[in-house]
Amino acid sequence: MKLFRNDILENLWLALATLRDNKLRSFLTVIGVIIGVVTVMLIASIISGIDTAFTKEVEAYGTRSMYISKNNPGIHVGRLSREERMRKPLTYDDALALSKLPAVDVAVPFLEITNNFFGQKILVSGGGKTSASVALQGTLPDFEKAGTQNVTEGRFFDRSENDAAAPVCVLGAAAKESLFGAAPAIGEYIKLNEQWCHVIGIVAPQLAPQTEVSGVRTEDMNNLIYAPLNAVRYRLEDSQSFLKDEIDGLYLHLASPETSTTDAEVVRGILNSSHHGAGDFNVIVPAELLAQQKRTEQLFNTVMVAIASISLLVGGIGIMNIMLAAILERTREIGVRRAVGARRWDIIRQFVIEAVLISFAGGLLGVLLGFTMSQLIAWLAGWSTIVTISSILLAFVVSISVGLIFGIYPAVKAARLDPVEAIRYE
């Protein structure tokens, strides 16, 4: 065992000496492995970052939740199609119909007034400050149960306040900060357009979506002000509106997350029936989005493996090429070693160690460069990149495997050289 260890160390030093004597050639060979490892790490870190960010944003809506929004057709020029003529808004009756489903614990409608270009305007004043970026959402008291909002200060409005269209409100964390800063807001009054409202609660900070998630609203939920639905409909909405039962969307809290996919089909069926298949609504189920994301991630992983395999194949071919060239240069050396008693296994081991050493150096430099470039991409492009231990180990192990696999053939070829002919080789 000790003799074998000494032989390994001797081969290692010989390999280091050989690589040192051919610095430029060794460096050019290592570049191929570096590119392969960097490719693996960059793709893996980008995929991991996207997956983590997407998962967090979707889970912010809860795995037992379902979100229904109206499908805004936008500006239409010309004659309306039959489907467009049949479109109608979501209404309070839709919420009542869905709330009767056994799979639905709570169905909560909401109505929003924002500062969109085509929507109603809302100007919020309070605490000596004015904000035009805050949106107002009218909803029911059950909204706290249906959504992911938790009141950390004060309380949420109750059913009696909604029935009376009471001018009360609950502030999101960002809305409270923009209006009152560090000062207490509970018990204070804010002005929504021309309507004064009593602040009775503050909602805990929530994850703010950074990108659109398959139809889920991308606005900052922290920048909302919640008020009773009837108060928004009768006190703040356009008094000339003839659709007082119109709503902008629905939050559903499901009885079980395991049946969310089948529950979504039932909900779509009911709405399609009442809306005559006009396609004027969207049903977003976080559980479905997560399942779809997993399938997409698997596809990306397959593509990553294919791209990385091509990159590392190029690096492996470079290693094989340089080792074959080294055999021609060192044919007499091989012959002399065989003549003085070296076995074929000793020759194979020497060349395999040299190949593995090249790939090891390429793997090490590739990991360092890959980590650096991953952080650089995150900084310059603003993307979320995550370098995981598994991706580092995968890239490193694969790089060494490439050196081992592509170094065996040249090593075997060197070991099969005839000692007499090798010594006489010029």
Contacts of 90 (CB under 8 A, 6+ apart): 68, 69, 70, 109, 246, 247, 248, 249, 250, 281
Separation between Cα atoms, residue 308 and residue 306, nearest integer Å: 6
Contacts 24+ apart (CB under 8 A), 142-146: 142/106, 142/108, 143/108, 143/110, 143/226, 143/251, 145/105, 145/106, 145/253, 146/65, 146/105, 146/106, 146/107, 146/108, 146/251, 146/252, 146/253
Residues facing residue 195 across a β-bridge: 192
d(Cα 6, Cα 45) in Å, to the nearest integer?
40
Start-to-end Cα distance in the chain: 37
In angstroms, how far apart are the furthest CA atoms of the chain? 106
Q: How far is 94 from 100, CA to CA, in rounded Å? A: 10
Where are the domains positioned within the chain? Answer: 2-58+292-423, 111-252
- Between CA 186 and CA 196 the distance in angstroms is 14
Q: Specify which residues 250 forms β-bridges with.
A: 68, 109
What pLDDT score does 76 carry?
45
Task: Supply the pLDDT for residue 207.
Answer: 61
User: Tokens at residue 102, please?
Assistant: 């056994």
> From first to last of its 426 residues, what are the pLDDT tens digits of the chain?
444 455 666 666 666 666 666 677 777 777 877 887 888 788 778 877 777 776 766 666 666 778 888 776 544 444 545 555 556 677 888 888 888 888 888 888 888 876 554 455 677 888 778 776 778 888 888 887 766 567 888 999 999 999 999 999 999 888 888 888 888 889 999 888 888 999 999 988 876 554 455 555 555 678 888 999 888 888 876 544 445 567 888 888 777 767 777 778 888 888 888 777 777 778 877 777 777 777 777 787 777 777 767 777 777 787 788 778 777 777 777 777 777 777 778 777 777 887 788 888 888 888 888 888 888 888 887 777 787 787 788 777 877 887 788 878 888 887 787 776 767 665
**Length of the chain counted residue by residue:** 426
pLDDT of residue 77: 45
pLDDT of residue 276: 73
Phi and psi at residue 114, to the nearest 5°: -125, -175
